[in-house]
Chains A and B, each alone.
Chain A
Amino acid sequence: MEMSKKYWKGIEELKQTPEFIKQKDQEFPSQQSVEDFLADENLAESSTARRDFLKFLGFSVAAATLAACEAPVTKVVPYVVKPENVTPGMPTWYASTYYDGASYASIVVKTREGRPIFVKGNKDFGFTQGGTNPQIIASVLGLYDSARLAQPLAKGQKASWSTVDTAISAAIAKAKKVTLLSNTVISPSIQRAISEMATKLNGEGGTKFEHIQYDAISYAGMREANAIHFGERIIAGHDFSKAKTIVSVAADFLSTWLLPTEFAVQYGVGRSPEAKWMSKHFQFESILSVTGSNADVRSMIKPSEEAAVLAYMVKALGGNPGMAVSAGAWKDAADKAVAALKKSKKESLVVAGSNHIGVQQLVIQLNNLLGAYGSTLDLNNTINLYQSEDAKALKLAANVAAGKGPEVLIMMGVNPVYNMPNGAAFAKGLKSITTVAISSFEDETASLCTYVCPDHHQLENWSDHMAKPNEYAVGQPTIRPLHNTASALESLLVWNGSAARGGQDSAVAYDYIQATYAAMNPTGDFNYLTHNSCVAVTSTLATLSYKAAALKAIPSAASDTEVVFYQKAAIGNGDFANNPWLQEMPDPITKVTWDNYITMNPVEMEGTYATTYDQEHGLNLATVTVNGKSITLPVYPLPGQAPKTIGIALGYGRGANGENIGKAAFQTKEYGGHAKTKDGKLTPIGANVFGMLSTGATILFSAAAKVTPAEGTYPIAATQIHHTVMGRHSIVRETTLSIFQNNEKDAFNEGHKLQKLDKHGNHVEAPVSEFDLWAAHPVEKIGHRWGMSIDLSSCIGCGSCLIACQSENNVPVVGKDEVRRGREMHWLRIDRYFASDEEAAIGTKKDKKTFSYDNAEKAALNPTVIHMPLMCHHCNHAPCETVCPVAATTHSNEGLNQMTYNRCIGTRYCANNCPYKVRRFNWFNYPSYKKFTEVNPAQDDLGRMVLNPDVTVRTRGVMEKCSLCVQRIQATKLVAKKEARVIADGEFATACSDACPTNAIVVGDWNDLKSMIREKSEGIRAYQALEEIGVKPNVWYQMKVRNEDNNLLKHIQVADQAHH
């Protein structure tokens, strides 16, 4: 059908004009080509060029965007059925127990709307009495690590639990030999499950199943020595609170040795100069450990001299050490120790850090000579931690490496590929057998295993523990499991055929633990146990008595240079290498973050290595060769390191093959992203030295070494690069116990005085507090005045407060590059000061006339140490407040120096004017800028859950600092107001005071006349840092009292005083 109608475009078409006909085939009427158009000179000169058009358009879009600047609609989703124990906006606390194979403590977990956000020690229940360490406090961050395995793996592929369980059960059934390699199991329930498995697989006298315990840090030497002298592989319970004399030979018992959570609390009890007695602590060691830095008398020895020191003391106390006795440079200190031991007799405690059986035998002999067993050492309440069976574990590893291993190897909570001395060979052997890893991460070992069965995180899991036979403790879940993981206990039960998988809300472990407790205590109330987290149980142990025996092994002779492999307070054995809080926690002694290194005494380094460094000039490198294995690391100048020894920290170099163990475990580039090696692998932080450990009857943590300088330098990130206070008495004050006890305050703690005119016009001296530049802010009589006292005598520098503060106050992690630029964000820092040869004690000049500042800059060869936590001093005459142009930092009438982020414009005048240098500037938007993606947990959807909802997450360009946990002050006040009562003393605690294992930090209301803080601030040990500048801080320090003889100091403080 033909079109009956025709439409025309316009009158031109209708009339068929010539122009139309000419143009009708062209889409555009223009006769000019684009080239011609653009070439037109007039165009360039015309006032509205194409670029201007775009500019106008761009401006319009920007204006429209601004116009649309409206608050977005906020959604709010209430519960469908609100859980009974959750009040939105209010925290819920759960008592629980922490054990990760190394650290153990009774803890309390703070949850908000069902997610754990803060962990602290339980001061009410449990033998650890509130003691914690940085790892325990930081463990809450590990819960939200996005690298944690979310489901089981079979041959590297994601798999379901049923697939994995079927395969594992079948493999176990088929195998001729099944070995379970685990870390120390202190859980009675897991022990029961393992013994059920053994019964089922072994039947009567079979050998199909074997359980071997293995710890990265071994205490087998100690257990073997006890087996020799007591007939049982025990470790006796230690009580440092009863010990008037403590002698430690290279045992870092306040930070990493055995059970520091308990020991630090006990140690704190005996360190009060005001008490009836103060313990006297002798330390003989090669590296400068946290414990050594607290010692009253510290002597530097080589690792090979440990036995000699102990043997010398055994002989001096009338014993027969069973080896040749000779004295070294340490004789003077050892004589003093012997004198003290003779005086305190059974109220003494001798410990040694060595894993050498012979050394530990000498310790047992010494303690027995003193009569310490039954006094400071308890054979009836032993320590169940660290049951490592080195010989068996090493043999298993050798068998696996040689292809003679069991058909099925189950590895639970261990990472032998990383931390066994022969880990590399072991890794190769794993391929030929069926391997099962119960691990939270696809780590060095798990990534090589046939099956990986992810365990719950501590805080998701029902667990039970018996760290000591007299106490049964449970850990309860504080959050529903985030991923499709399962309790290790449940996995063992399932593979043994005695339970079925319970899924995400499984009660298998819970029921099993309840049954364990019911068997132990048939009348016990499980709910009561859960409420307290632990309960005392009576255990019946065989009575043990000391038997003399010859030394099983005599330590090897000294070699020229010896190396000590030690653990750092934050990273420990390396399990926490992926925790950015811990990586960025400055080491208590070296103040270095994000690295391990070789420590060497700067006196020895002179001429070969640089002894000073800064953000641009790194440290020199050196190559260390031990047992034929070499490693190159930077050399860090550490005063107090014994000459001819070096120290290297274990626990670094995790993820050497780029295993997915967490973003923060690897080096990052300057502008974000992971640093990659040439072959595209992630670069681990530091170097792994577990492979260098020597193995004999036990694994040994020291060896002969060869150190040769290597080419090049390495940048290192330290938060403190100066060592001494250069004789400045106004920063730290120190005295000795005898001076403290026998003199007035003015002798050892003289306040700063200024000249003024009295009524008669005479010049008189008056304390600084009498001088005011302007009218004081009213804080004394109205309401509260919050204050803090820090006891430098009890502070051991462990770093728990720093991590607790970071956790409580959403302090960002900034990464190594920013720390190098001095931009770390910690609100609380711990300054560490070494004594110099120009000082009689830290802060006291030997001789004011001949005092040389140049020499005072250098620390002494074996310096005494003071740890000084420093945060905002909340000065009543705050210099920062007067310089803020926008009044973003102001004073409250409760004595707080308030920081108002939303008012701050970032001039940084306040930071410049702060005498304590505690203000931190947000140089970047840490929660979103790409540079911090790898390190800052707030950039991760999961990691963000750790943030405290009561504290603002600060943005770029504002200043921040310690608020004295004002959110906690407000919460404490509100509880009291609602209950219509006064605030009790001790009710308010900051995150740092909550975390302090030795109760060195005391906070409270200074206007409460009966408060502890008032008493402390008026005590004779109290002083204020930089008192002479008159800023009137609300923070007091209690001066350091060392239990030593210091005649020079006595002369200065007492004789000079008399002279006045």
Chain B
Amino acid sequence: MEISNIQSLKRIKSLAYVAITIGLIAFSNFASAQGEGLFKAKCATCHMTHKNSTGPKLAGVKAKWAAGGAKEGSIYQWVNNWQTAAANDPYAAEVSKWSPTAMSAFPDLKKEEIDAILDWVDAQPDPALVAPVPPGGADAAGATNVALEEESNSWVWLIMGIIFVVVIMAVGGVRRQLKLATSENEAEAEKMTYGEELRALAWKYRLQVGLVSLVVVISLFVGLFQSLYSINIMEGYQPSQPIVFPHAQHAGINGIDCKYCHNTVAKSKSASIPSVNVCMNCHKQIDGEGKEYAPQIKKIYAAAGWDKEGMKYTGKTDPIVWNKVHVLPEHVYFNHSQHVVVGGIDCKQCHGDMTQMTETAKVQPVEELNKIEGNIKLTRKTLTMGWCIECHGKKDVAIGNGKNGYYDEIHRRLKQDPKLYAQYLNNDGKVTANELGGWECAKCHY
């Protein structure tokens, strides 16, 4: 699949070349598209358009070289191999002293392609000159994200209400007693107490009162059980985070593989929240200057001890304290590598489509997970034990397909008991995780 995609891309590209030669598409438009593509593929690792990074900024570089007295065509030579250029042109030799980091050679870039790159770069507006973000914009964005706290359950309010009523009644009772005690009127003392009044009233309307009480008691019980069952259900849980990290930007738009940051997912039980140095691999360059997310990136710099101006680490680090999203009780053992490497489960199965997650992370409700194509459809609430074992009951382990020596051996042993094997297969035509012991207590609890 992937290969054919690449082939079709190549085909499209060659078609485009044909298109230029017959002049059906405006040349400038194409050059711009070609320039952008080449810039991102070849140059963007070290160069930015309007800002110095590993390499100097590229905006207006042609004009700069011309003004500086560079030889004609020297700039193309430089791109192809800077050492040749530096040997031939004193200006290029001067440029090579800009940074001790040597530029890579790009001998296959043609003159037209270099022109396309530099023209595209020159056509880009300077972000510093673009109208700044309206005041409060960044803060407001931060505030909405941070304010995403868990919703309180309505039954909490119900219980609070009951407490309130009890307190009012108790206070009322005390007040009445005080009144009675201080009353000098003997006749008033003979009056019925609250309780007696209530009892008389209840007796009068005993049928109605009985029915209402029954309904109330039953609904209280139902409510109690429902609320007990919902204790510690994590579905929908989305704590606030110290840094507003949009997964959609990283995994979605930029297409960064999950394993690039969560790099222990295939090795260990924990997928790991990436260490700050992983963030810095990219964010050394991407400082978001002028963008509304710049304050968030500053927090990474503070954690890593990165001095942006001096382009160096200060050594003063301050780890980021995240709020854990997917929290399992301590008596549960869960191993990511088991599921990802051995089970071949996609991250989406449990975490949902993170490429669409504009905020950091959330325990996705099972309904959301079921919408994702390719996911095993489940009914129990996410991160409950029912949810785990439901999946274990459905997942085909695909033993004996010759791809995993471990399962081949299990398959060989299982075949020695044909009755049992047939029993496993007869249920659903596959050997599921639970049939290999995936429902046993000590697989996850020890």
Contacts and interface: CB of A to CB of B under 8 A. Distances in A.
Interface of A: 30-32, 37, 40, 42-43, 46-48, 50, 52-53, 56-57, 59-60, 63-64, 66-71, 73-82, 87-90, 778, 780-783, 890, 892-894, 896, 898-903, 950-953, 963, 966-967, 970, 973-974, 976-978, 980-983, 1007
Contact of B160 (A64, A87, A900): A64
B170 A53 contact: yes
20 contacts: A43-B181, A47-B193, A48-B174, A73-B323, A74-B327, A78-B272, A80-B277, A80-B305, A87-B264, A88-B272, A90-B267, A781-B416, A782-B410, A782-B414, A783-B413, A893-B440, A899-B442, A966-B442, A980-B405, A982-B409
B191 interface: no
B420 interface: yes
B195 interface: yes
Interface string B239-281: 1000000000000000000000000100111101111111000
B268 A981 contact: no
A977 B267 contact: no
B26 interface: no
Contacts of B167: 56-57, 60
Given A60-B163, A782-B417, A898-B441, A67 B275 contact: no
B228 to A, nearest CB: 10
A900 B445 contact: yes
A63 B162 contact: yes
Contacts of B268: 87-90
Contacts of A890: 440-441
B342 interface: yes
A105 to B, nearest CB: 29
B369 to A, nearest CB: 21
Interface string B314-351: 00011111111001011101010110011000000000
- Chain A binding surface SS class: loop
Contacts of B45: none
Nearest to A903: B441
B441 A42 contact: no
A976 B404 CA distance: 9
B61 interface: no
A950 B333 contact: yes
B317 A80 contact: yes
A991 to B, nearest CB: 13
Interface string B289-331: 0000000000000011100000000000111111110010111
Contacts of A59: 166
B445 A980 contact: no
B442 A81 contact: no
Contact of A980 (B182, B305, B403, B442): B403
A78 B150 CA distance: 23
B232 interface: yes
B205 interface: no
A971 B8 CA distance: 44
B229 to A, nearest CB: 13
Contacts of A87: 264, 267-268
A902 B156 contact: no
A783 B342 contact: no
Task: Identify the interface centre among A30, A66, A87: most chain B CB within 10 Å of its CB.
Answer: A87
Contact of B180 (A42, A66, A76, A967): A42
Contacts of B333: 950, 967, 970
B116 interface: no
Nearest to B313: A81
Given A48-B170, A977-B338, A74 B324 contact: yes
B276 A81 contact: yes
Given A74-B327, A892-B442, A951-B446, A977 B276 contact: no
Contacts of B195: 47
Given A64-B163, A73-B239, A983 B442 contact: no
B203 interface: no
B323 A71 contact: no
Given A42-B177, A890-B441, 4 more contacts: A48-B177, A73-B324, A79-B319, A88-B264
B211 interface: no
Smallest CB-CB A-B distances: 6 pairs: A48-B173, A898-B442, A89-B268, A60-B163, A900-B441, A781-B417
B182 A32 contact: yes
B250 to A, nearest CB: 16
Contacts of B98: none
B423 to A, nearest CB: 10
A30 B413 contact: no
Task: Identify the interface centre among B156, B274, B305, B442: most chain A CB within 10 Å of its CB.
Answer: B442
Contacts of B407: 977
Given A74-B323, A982-B405, A82 B277 contact: yes
Nearest to B232: A71
Given A48-B173, A71-B327, A78 B442 contact: no
B388 to A, nearest CB: 14
A900 B403 contact: no
Contacts of B414: 781-783
B273 A783 contact: no
B406 interface: yes
B155 interface: yes
B231 interface: yes
B107 interface: no
B437 interface: yes
Contacts of A70: 150
A970 B181 contact: no
A970 B150 CA distance: 36
B170 A57 contact: yes
A81 B277 contact: yes
A981 B441 contact: no
Contacts of B9: none
Nearest to A892: B440
Contacts of A31: 182
A738 B270 CA distance: 56
B437 A977 contact: no
A898 B159 CA distance: 40
B317 A81 contact: yes
Interface string B166-205: 1101100110110011100000010001110000000000
B404 A977 contact: yes
A59 B445 CA distance: 36
Contacts of A899: 441-442
A76 B324 contact: yes
Given A37-B181, A1007-B413, A80 B319 contact: yes
A885 to B, nearest CB: 16
Contacts of B337: 974, 978
Contacts of B231: 69
Contacts of A74: 323-324, 327
Interface string B421-444: 000000000000000110011110
Contacts of B177: 42-43, 46, 48
B366 interface: no
B121 interface: no
Nearest to A36: B181
A57 B405 CA distance: 66
B312 to A, nearest CB: 15
A60 B193 CA distance: 24
Contacts of A40: 181
A56 B166 CA distance: 7
Nearest to B157: A67
B234 interface: yes
B382 to A, nearest CB: 14
Task: Identify the interface centre among B195, B329, B341, B409: most chain A CB within 10 Å of its CB.
Answer: B409
A782 B275 contact: no
A81 B331 CA distance: 29
B163 A982 contact: no
Contacts of B160: 64, 67
B232 A77 contact: no
A978 B417 contact: no
B166 A80 contact: no
B304 A80 contact: yes
A952 B446 contact: yes
